[in-house]
């Protein structure tokens, strides 16, 4: 065996040995940044309208599009794209306003008898949770009424589904929300982007834009995922409570909402 081969194997062993600890170190750093940002800025007080609490908490929900500000069109920010499509469907796409108190852009509207708060964080993906927690405090919305929309590597492009709470499954934006809200009960609409082919690094892949060939599939996903989202938001069945969240998420880890004319758990664009 040549010296070059031996050195190569030794270097591979060393990098593999430090790979997990470095990942844990980065996670600890991100968690610390989340806490520092939460502690250094006072949480906004519950929103008031005409001197009274705006709406009963049971009739108020928030939908968050996770992503990186200024990176519209990237795979990692597909959650923001779906949220923008939802705003267009609701009829007032130009009603977004910047809100310093929540470090994001907010759009407040009504869907049937529900006051709906749409949020696009203006913080980086890894600390999106700071913006979500601030908005939850300002609008008095409990975690179980906050729906996160995000990209999902483990689903191919063309598939999407709703997950009822549970772990972040490696998604840094969701992990930030879990850290800042101190619970994992938030439902999520996961939009499949698939995994990179060949030796393309995952970070480069998720920060890249969808190709022209992928765009027609994405457009169809946008429309159909918003259909499912609207059905979920207006569903009269009670949401999982914080006390039951983690236990329920284990039992229904991969459960997805059925569309109006379908009973499948995972959705695929037609």
Positions marked active-site: 76
One-character DSSP codes across the chain: --HHHHHHHHHHHHHHHHHHHHHHHHHHHHHHHHHHHHHHSPPPPPPEETTEESS-GGGEEEEEE-S-TT-TTBGGGHHHHHHHHHHHHTT-TT--EEEGGGTEEEEEEEETTEEEEEEEE-S-GGGHHHHHHHHHHHTT--GGGEEEEEEETTS-TTEEEEEES---TT-HHHHHHHHHHT----EEEEEE--PPPTT--HHHHHHSBPPTTTHHHHHHHHHHHHHHHHHHHT--SPPPPHHHHHHHHHHTTT--PPPTT---SSEE--
Which tokens hold the place of 227?
A: 């259909």
Burial group, residue 160, by CB count within 10 angstroms (0-12, 13-18, 19+): buried
**Do 159 and 267 touch, CB atoms closer than 8 A?**
yes
């Amino acid at each position: 065996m040549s010296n070059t081969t031996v050195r190569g194997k030794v270097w591979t062993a060393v990098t593999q040995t430090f790979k997990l600890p470095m990942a844990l170190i980065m996670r600890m750093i991100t968690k610390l940044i989340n806490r520092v940002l939460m502690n250094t800025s006072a949480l906004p007080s519950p929103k008031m309208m005409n001197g009274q609490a705006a709406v009963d908490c049971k009739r108020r929900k928030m939908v968050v599009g996770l992503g990186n500000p200024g990176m519209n069109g990237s795979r990692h920010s597909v959650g923001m794209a779906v949220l923008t499509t939802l705003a267009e469907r609701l009829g007032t796409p130009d009603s977004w306003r910047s809100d310093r108190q929540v470090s994001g852009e907010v759009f407040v509207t009504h869907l049937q008898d529900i006051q709906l708060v749409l949020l696009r964080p203006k913080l980086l993906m890894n600390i999106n949770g700071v913006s979500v927690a601030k908005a939850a405090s300002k609008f008095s919305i409990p975690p179980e009424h906050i729906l996160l929309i995000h990209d999902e590597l483990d689903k191919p492009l063309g598939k999407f589904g709703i997950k009822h709470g549970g772990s972040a499954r490696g998604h840094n934006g969701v992990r930030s929300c879990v850290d800042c809200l101190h619970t994992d009960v938030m439902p999520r609409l996961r939009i499949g982007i698939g995994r990179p082919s060949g030796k393309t690094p995952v970070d480069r892949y998720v920060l890249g834009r969808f190709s022209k060939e992928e765009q027609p599939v994405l457009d169809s996903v946008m429309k159909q995922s918003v259909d499912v989202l609207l059905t979920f938001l207006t569903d009269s069945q009670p949401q999982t409570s914080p006390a039951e969240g983690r236990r329920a998420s284990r039992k229904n880890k991969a459960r997805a909402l059925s569309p109006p004319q379908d009973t499948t758990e995972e959705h695929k664009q037609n």
